[in-house]
Structure 1
């Protein structure tokens, strides 16, 4: 039976038994999990990160985005969790699913590349600052 409402449950550890109609969220381990809202019983794992899923909390409830596309499951269900409700989306063709998966992979690769560039830039600035401080100390300049 399709789930129409979902109840957020904030946990540190994901329980062994996942109940239908509940969205278990672990901020500590940056993951959310729920049973597929179509009623098939599959467990849907959604990693929480800037390039995977994110959730928001408002006075109306919890929303998880982007959509949940269970392409690897037999049901191939596709839905949004918005304000504790389940909003069903249209099905997608295999070609559409492939494009979405390719875009997701491309987004993740770009994010990692940008983070690495930021990290390398930060390391360069830290190195320059360290060398500059040594030069100042060598010549007796006060910081």
Structure 2
């Protein structure tokens, strides 16, 4: 039997987060729940292009990617798919560090502002007419 969470769409995250409920605030782009291992820690998952993505199919929610509670003593690791909890394998310290580096790399790439000074300019300067071109133009009138 798989564990599951109920989802609850809220504007504000309640002061008392209850076990077994995934609170989702679309307005504040945040989801929060108690760690499913039972340690009691609150797990905050920001919703953004570089953090977690939430899918709601009208009946259940899915968070992607997995939840790795690397800063908690429990270091639990699991997926929330269609309100069901799927436990994932434990990660080594090396895997955790590589995951963090990868996350940081994706954030930098996403938020990086291109340096247009290094790119070729697409605007070509039009040379100013010489004095002889100006005189020639006047004589043609």
Output the TM-score relative to the length of structure 1: 0.77
In 1, the alpha carbon distance for the partners of 2:81 and 2:35 equals: 15
What's the C-alpha RMSD, in Å, of the aligned pairs?
1.8
Structure 1, unmatched stretches of 5+, are 121-127, 129-143
Structure number, greater radius of gyration = 2
**Equivalences for residues 58-77 of structure 1 within 5 A:** 58-59=57-58, 61-77=60-76
Residue 57 of structure 1: how far off its partner (Å): 1.1
Structure 2, unmatched stretches of 5+, are 117-122, 124-141
More helix by share: 1
SS in 2 for 1:44: strand
Output the TM-score relative to the length of structure 2: 0.78
SS in 1 for 2:12: coil
Tell me which residue corresponds to 1:95: 94
Runs of 4+ in structure 1 over 4 Å off: none
User: How many correspondences in the alignment?
Assistant: 116
